[in-house]
């Protein structure tokens, strides 16, 4: 199994450009989420989804859009990139176990630089 696949691995944008970070999982997980990681800040939750057609905001949602049309895919869109969005982005998927635990499987990350 591939697990969680993120593309692209690296991207350079100019301020104001738009782009989509792709995330796909092949584990039939219900839940998917996007995080950004900045030096000294740990991981911060951007958006998450509990199933197809259902998304919700995390800690830092401004400047990002998401949609979940299928169980497998959860793309993250930057409509007008800003230098403050320079970061490493991680996608994760999971399911709620019968014990109530929600254990995440992460992708390898996408490094975005906005000039």
* Smallest gap from residue 68 Cβ to another protein (A): 13
* Smallest gap from residue 92 Cβ to another protein (A): 8
Of the two residues 13 and 23, which places its CB atom closer to another protein in the complex?
A: 23
Of the two residues 28 and 99, which places its CB atom closer to another protein in the complex?
A: 99
* Smallest gap from residue 80 Cβ to another protein (A): 25
CA 53, 56, 61, 62 torsion-angle sign: positive
């Amino acid at each position: 199994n591939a697990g969680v696949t993120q593309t692209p691995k690296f991207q350079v944008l100019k301020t104001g450009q738009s782009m989509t970070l792709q995330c796909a999982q092949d584990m039939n997980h219900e839940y998917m989420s996007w995080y950004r990681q900045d030096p000294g800040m740990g991981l911060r939750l951007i958006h998450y989804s509990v199933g197809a057609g259902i998304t919700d905001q995390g800690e830092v949602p401004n400047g990002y859009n998401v949609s979940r049309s299928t169980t497998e895919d959860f793309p993250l869109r930057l409509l007008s990139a800003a230098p403050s969005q320079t970061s490493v982005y991680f996608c994760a998927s999971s399911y709620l176990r019968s014990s109530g635990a929600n254990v995440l499987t992460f992708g390898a990350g996408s490094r975005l630089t906005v000039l």
